[in-house]
Structure formats: structure tokens, C-alpha cells
Amino acid sequence: MRTMSRPVGLPVLAESDLVRQVARRLTDAIVQGRLPPGAKVAEAAVARELGISRAPVREAARLLESQGLLEASPRRGFFVRELSARDVDELYALRLCVERHAAVEAARRLTPEARDALRRQLDLMRDLARRDDPATIVEADYQFHRLICEAAGNARLLRLFDGLASELRIVIGLIGHLYDDPDEIARTHEPVLAAIEAGHPERIVAHVDHHIGVARREVVRLLEGLAPQSPASHSQTPESP
């Protein structure tokens, strides 16, 4: 069992709106792999590390539970959600529907500003690869895909993409472990952007299918190789005071 018994690098909070800040810190730790799937999020330990009381930590955990990042186990506390291979396959099936349409619409509506934003994001991913900073390149990966949805100009589609955000962040974090060369993550996005810039719908869909399909197969394969574990199988020790 992997628990949060040691500090994981969460900075002390001193500002208002603590619940949202705690949720963001925990989300970062999950995406960056400092809180891996199945890890226990001990309220007392997090509160001590952040220099705050347990109440906002508990509320942040409940918020992340509602977003699909954490799971609550009665009398045992909160655990980082463990996605099954089936969960990921279903998520990617939905991603394909959303991002095929988003990419085609983004090409049709592409403005110089949107093109520049996507190019800058791709450059950022390359720069982060040179810095060997896998945690931030994972976030940059997510933002690249969100920018495509923004460029599509459909507010409802963007909200749908954002609704998948929590689970996507866990999955994209797993993708970061699939490549020995961090620059490979940036390179896999180049054909997608080139197709959007060229504006050919069939090519766009083909490149989106390939880009997301490769990740889908590899992440499912990765998860199928892991032993399944549910919150009920975690330690029977109640939440510490």
C-alpha cells in the first residue's frame, strides 16, 4: 500500500479561498505522480504540510471526489482514484468523438491568434522536454488539446472537454511514463497541428485518430499489466487524527 506518510512537496498556503487552493495542490501532485493511483490522501498529513487546518483539506478532497480524482472509503479516508483499463478505453472513446469534431471545427475557424497560441504551446512542450521536466510537459499536453477545443469556437464543446478534465489529467500523467524521450510527447502533436493548419477534414480526423489512438492502446496496455486494487482493499487503518 502506498500512502501519503511523507511530504510530497506541497507549498504552504497563506491566502484566502483555501479549499480551491488545496484542491489545486492535490491535483498537481496527482498529475505529477507524487500521489500515484491508489495512494491515500491523509487529511492530517496534508494539513500539516500546507500549514492549515483539516477542514479545508476535507472539503478539497470532497471536491476532487466529485470531479473523479479521489474516491472515499468509509472510515479509511480518501484515495487517489485508480482507473481500470475499461475506464480508460471508455474515456478515450469519448475523447475521440469530442476531439475529432473540435479539430475539424478549429481548422474551419482558425484565426492567426489561435494558430499562434497552438504553435506557442507546441514550442513550450519542446522547451519543457529540453529541461527534462515531465510533470509540466504533462500539463502542457493537456493545454494543447484544450486550445484546440477553444479554437473550435463552441462553448458547449469546451465545457464537455473540461468535464473530462480530471480523468484526462490522470491519464495524461500516465502517458508521460510511456516515453523514454520527453521530446517524443511534443513530436506526436506536430502532425495534428499541421493537419489543422492545412485544413483538410479527412487528414485532420486521421491524425487525431492516430494521435489519440496510440495513447489509448498504450495506456490500456499499461493498466492491463497492473494488478487491480479497489479502495476497499486498502489498509483497514482508520484516518489518523
CATH number at residue 182: 1.20.120.530
Residues 100 and 158 occupy one common structural domain: yes
Domain that holds residue 119: 85-224
Mean pLDDT, residues 157-182 taken together: 74
Are the beta carbons of 170 and 31 closer than 8 angstroms?
Answer: yes
| Cα within 13 Å of Cα(188), Cβ side | 22
Domain count, the chain: 2
CA–CA dist 172, 53 (Å, integer): 31
pLDDT for the residue 28? 81
Q: Structure pTM?
A: 0.73
Which DSSP letter does residue 3 get?
B
Residue 111 lies in a domain: yes
Express each pLDDT in 36-80 by its tens digit: 888 999 999 999 999 999 999 999 999 999 888 899 998 899 999
What span, in angstroms and rounded, lies between the C-alpha atoms of 35 and 125?
A: 23
Asked if pLDDT for residue 84 goes beyond 60, the answer is yes
